[in-house]
Structure formats: C-alpha cells, structure tokens
C-alpha cells in the first residue's frame, strides 16, 4: 500500500470542567510517485472539461475559453478517459458525440479530434450549472479511480433555482471532484464555492480571459499528478462525545463537516478526495463530557483509509489537570490554523459589510483580517487585502478602505480568503 504519515498536534491538558478538545492532524504522502513506479501501479483517471457557452461568453471570452479547454486537453496523459461538455441553460457533450456512451481515451488522435470539436462554439442562452453537473455526473457513472472536472463560467446561475443547483450538487457529491473557475466579474463566488466545497475542489478568479489557458493547464497538470484516488479520515469518538467540526486548513480552508458518512454510532468517515505527493492539515474539534482533575480519556482516534485499506492512526487525548501552566499552554499548530480559519471568516464578513454599505463594520473586520494575516505570515492574503484597503499599521489592524473599490479586487479577495499558509518554524 502507498505510504502515508499522520501526526496529531494538540494541547491535551484541559482545566477541570472543560469539554472542548482541539487537535490539528497533519497527513503527508511523501513518496507516492516513487512508490507507484516501484510497484508498477497506475490509477485509472477520467476528466471532464465544462465550458460555459451562454450568451455572455460571446467574443473574446468564448475564444479564450476554447483555447483554455484545448490546452487542458493537451495536458491529458495517454490512456486517460475524458469528455468536453458545453453548458448554457442546458448541457450537452461537445466531445465525444452523444452517439458514444463511453468517454474518449486520450491519445494524439483523440486529443486532435477534441480540439476540432471545440472550434466554432457559439455563445447563446442562459446559465444553469445544475444541468452541467448532472450531465457530467452521468459521464462519470461507469468510471472508477480519479474522477475530476474543471468548470468554467462567467455569469450568475440565473436559469434555474438555487434549490435545483443544490440538488444537482448533492447528486454529484462523492462521484467526482470539481475545480471551479470564474472569468470576469459578473459571476458569484458564493455559487461556485458551493460547488467546489461539496465536490472537494477549488474556486478561483481568472480576471482576464487571456489567462484562462495558463490556469487550465495548471489545474489539469495538478490533476494528472494525483496518484491515489481516495483517502478518507475515519474518526472514532467515545460514547457521549460529539464532533463539532472537521476542517481542512492546509492548503486552504475547506469544511468537511457536512461530508460526514456514518459508519456506526461512534465512527464516521470524512472523504478528502484524490492525492498527489503533498501534505494537508485538518483541524478537528470534539466535545466530550468534562472531566475532573487526574481524569484521562481517549477523545478520538483518526485512521487513514487509503483506497479502502486502513493505514496509519493518530490519537486525540484529553487529560484534566489543575496545573494552569499546562492548561494555558498554546499549541502552535492549533493556534495558527484557528487563526487562518478566523482570517477567512473575517474577510468574508468584511466583504458582506461592503456589499450592504456598512463601511464601519467592513473597516473593523478587514482591519482585524490585516492583523491576523500579518501575525501568521500569510503574505499572499496580506497583498490581496492591500488592494482593497490602505494599511496604516498592520500590527494593530489600523486601515482605511480604498475610496474606489474595484469589483475584480473584491472578488479576488473573496477567493483568496481561504488560501492558507503553514506554521512558520
């Protein structure tokens, strides 16, 4: 079995009467490519590229979207199965044609045919992303291994109800992962984040159409680098305990709490999707019955399930003590990643305040965000914040909102808010 490592970071010491247990579990897969080469294993993979062809995509956007989809096709390794989907107020296969039920198999010939199928796409109609996801879901119906999609749009999901979109997302949950991209500034980060969160993907802004090809190439190359189709966190908790949340905190904040799959009364699975050679971190918060001085308990046990096989484990412990030196000690991993999640929430709260015209609240919350980003060394988010606010003193969070707030900068800050950095050594 391909090797994964797991480690638990926490302050296990709690004051008497406290029942909140926090832990950061780090998972790393340092040698997947070498291990796969040694064993001769190769995981099956399928890719679907979904292109918005609604009326708002006309002109330069449809031309650049065509070029981006072709660039993604060129990244497909021989033997990968793939399809192209066009979407407006409905969805259909662009390639292979509807006469073929199966996906195409990547080769020099099929990649050339797919590029030809992209030529002449016409932009017309509305936008119904739920229908796009349903067609994509059916394409993955008979596929095993790593199933991944890229979804591109430039507008609001206006041709269906939010309930229709949510239902389609739920039908796709667990079937494939989906990275979402919005081009321009007329789409909704919240709509694409709903898709990407449920489907264990990412969401990002591509402000300029001419940058789409480079972005699609990066996304597809990252997908091609994944070597393990399925890794799950299996969490055991004792009778009487509850899980408040399970949250991925590296490489970005992604709430996995609603992905919970019950195994039995005390055990639940949290799928994390496909993996490459990488490391991720997860913040787990448990509630247990508060103990008295000298009480000890196993508050949780995390087992890695790698392609249905149990692997390494990490233990989450609770020890109650009256020693305030021990109970007030701050674990740096837990403190850091709690701060990164707070940073995302502050930015999103500040942007909501701007949206409703509450500039006083926006200044307060984005000022605190500047402070947290500076303290944690999240330079990328600090730089993005600086496009929306003038920073007078990062250490105290003293800022001024810029007089002219550009939509692209606000959207860029929203999508950047969940990007995190590791604990600085």
> What CATH number does residue 298 fall under?
2.60.40.3670
pLDDT at position 283: 98
Phi, psi angles (nearest 5°) of residue 422: -75, 165
- pLDDT tens across 71-82, in order? 999 999 999 999
Q: How far apart are CA 119 and CA 122, in angstroms?
A: 9
pLDDT for 34 beyond 90: no
Confidence band of 265 (pLDDT split at 50, 70, 90): confident
In a domain, 347, yes or no: yes
End-to-end CA distance of the chain: 31
CA angle, corner 202, sides to 201 and 207, nearest 5?
150
Confidence band of 423 (pLDDT split at 50, 70, 90): confident
pLDDT at position 33: 57
Co-location of 305 and 378 in the same domain: no
In a domain, 312, yes or no: yes
Phi, psi angles (nearest 5°) of residue 404: -115, 115
Co-location of 270 and 323 in the same domain: yes
Co-location of 404 and 343 in the same domain: yes
User: Locate tokens 């999103």: which residue?
Assistant: 348
The answer to whether 151 and 248 are in contact (CB under 8 A) is no
- pLDDT tens across 407-417, in order? 999 999 999 99
pLDDT at position 358: 97
The answer to whether 322 and 293 are in contact (CB under 8 A) is yes
Mean pLDDT over 219-246 rounds to: 96
Instruction: Tell me what percent of the residues of the chain surpass a pLDDT of 90.
Output: 92
In a domain, 422, yes or no: no
Co-location of 205 and 238 in the same domain: no
pLDDT for 332 beyond 70: yes
Q: How far apart are CA 194 and CA 182, in angstroms?
A: 13
pLDDT for 383 beyond 90: yes
pLDDT at position 2: 62
DSSP 348: H
* Mean of pLDDT over the chain: 94
pLDDT for 123 beyond 70: yes
Co-location of 356 and 400 in the same domain: yes
Domain end among 209, 224, 239: 224
Q: Which residues contact 34 (CB under 8 A, 6 or more apart)?
A: none
The answer to whether 318 and 23 are in contact (CB under 8 A) is no
pLDDT for 378 beyond 60: yes
> What CATH number does residue 405 fall under?
1.20.120.1690
pLDDT at position 323: 96
pLDDT at position 40: 46
For residue 380, what is the enclosing H or E element? helix 379-385
Co-location of 97 and 122 in the same domain: yes
- pLDDT tens across 179-196, in order? 999 999 999 999 999 999
- pLDDT tens across 42-76, in order? 789 999 999 999 999 999 999 999 999 999 999 99
In a domain, 424, yes or no: no
In a domain, 28, yes or no: yes
- Which of 119, 171, 178 has its CA nearest to residue 153? 178
In a domain, 338, yes or no: yes
pLDDT for 229 beyond 60: yes
Number of domains in the chain: 3
Co-location of 217 and 235 in the same domain: no
pLDDT for 292 beyond 70: yes
User: What string of DSSP letters covers 25-45?
Assistant: EEEEETTHHHHHHHHT----E
Co-location of 134 and 276 in the same domain: no
pLDDT for 39 beyond 70: no
pLDDT for 351 beyond 70: yes
Q: How far apart are CA 42 and CA 135, in angstroms?
A: 27
In a domain, 421, yes or no: no
- Residue-number span of the structural domain to which 255 is assigned: 5-39+228-329
> What CATH number does residue 143 fall under?
3.40.50.410
Co-location of 51 and 198 in the same domain: yes
Co-location of 173 and 90 in the same domain: yes
Co-location of 182 and 249 in the same domain: no
pLDDT for 425 beyond 60: no
User: Locate tokens 């990547």: which residue?
Assistant: 106
Co-location of 159 and 303 in the same domain: no
Domain end among 312, 329, 346: 329
pLDDT for 101 beyond 80: no
> Partners of 84 in the beta sheet?
49, 95
């Amino acid at each position: 079995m391909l090797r994964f490592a797991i480690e638990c970071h926490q302050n296990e010491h709690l004051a008497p009467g406290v029942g909140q247990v926090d832990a950061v579990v780090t998972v790393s897969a340092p040698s997947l490519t070498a291990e796969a080469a040694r064993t001769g294993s190769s995981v099956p993979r399928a890719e679907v590229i979904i292109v918005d062809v609604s009326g708002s995509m006309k002109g330069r956007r449809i031309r650049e979207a065509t070029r981006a989809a072709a660039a993604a096709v060129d990244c497909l390794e021989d033997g990968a199965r793939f399809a192209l989907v066009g979407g407006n107020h409905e969805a259909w296969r662009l390639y292979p044609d509807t006469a073929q039920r199966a996906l195409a198999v990547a080769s020099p010939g099929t990649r050339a045919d797919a590029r030809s199928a992209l030529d002449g796409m016409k932009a017309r109609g509305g936008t119904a992303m739920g229908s796009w996801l349903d067609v994509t879901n059916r394409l993955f119906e008979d596929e095993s291994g790593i199933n991944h999609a890229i979804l591109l749009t430039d507008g609001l999901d206006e041709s269906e109800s939010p309930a229709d979109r949510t239902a389609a997302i739920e039908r796709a949950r667990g079937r494939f992962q989906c990275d979402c991209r919005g081009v321009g500034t007329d789409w909704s980060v919240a709509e694409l984040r709903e898709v990407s969160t449920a489907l264990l993907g990412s969401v990002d802004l591509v402000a300029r159409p001419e940058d789409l090809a480079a972005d699609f190439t990066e996304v597809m190359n990252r997908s091609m680098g994944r070597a393990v189709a399925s890794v799950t966190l299996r969490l055991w908790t004792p009778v009487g305990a509850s899980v408040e949340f399970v949250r991925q905190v590296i490489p970005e904040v992604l709430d996995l709490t609603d992905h919970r799959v019950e195994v039995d009364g005390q055990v639940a699975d949290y799928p994390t999707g496909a993996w490459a050679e990488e490391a991720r971190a997860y913040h787990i918060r448990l509630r247990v019955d508060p103990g008295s001085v000298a009480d000890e308990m196993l508050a949780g046990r995390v087992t890695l399930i790698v392609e249905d096989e149990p692997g390494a484990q990490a233990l989450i412990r609770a020890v109650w003590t009256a020693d305030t030196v021990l109970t007030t000690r701050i674990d740096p991993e837990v403190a850091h990643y709690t701060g990164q999640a707070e940073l995302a929430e502050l930015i999103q709260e500040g942007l909501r305040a701007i949206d409703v015209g509450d500039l006083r609240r926006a200044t307060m919350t984005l000022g605190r965000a500047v402070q947290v980003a500076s303290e944690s060394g999240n330079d990328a988010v600090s730089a993005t914040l600086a496009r929306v606010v003038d920073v007078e003193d990062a250490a105290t969070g003293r800022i001024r909102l810029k007089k002219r707030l550009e939509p692209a900068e606000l959207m860029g800050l929203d999508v950047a808010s969940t990007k995190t950095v590791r604990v600085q050594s």
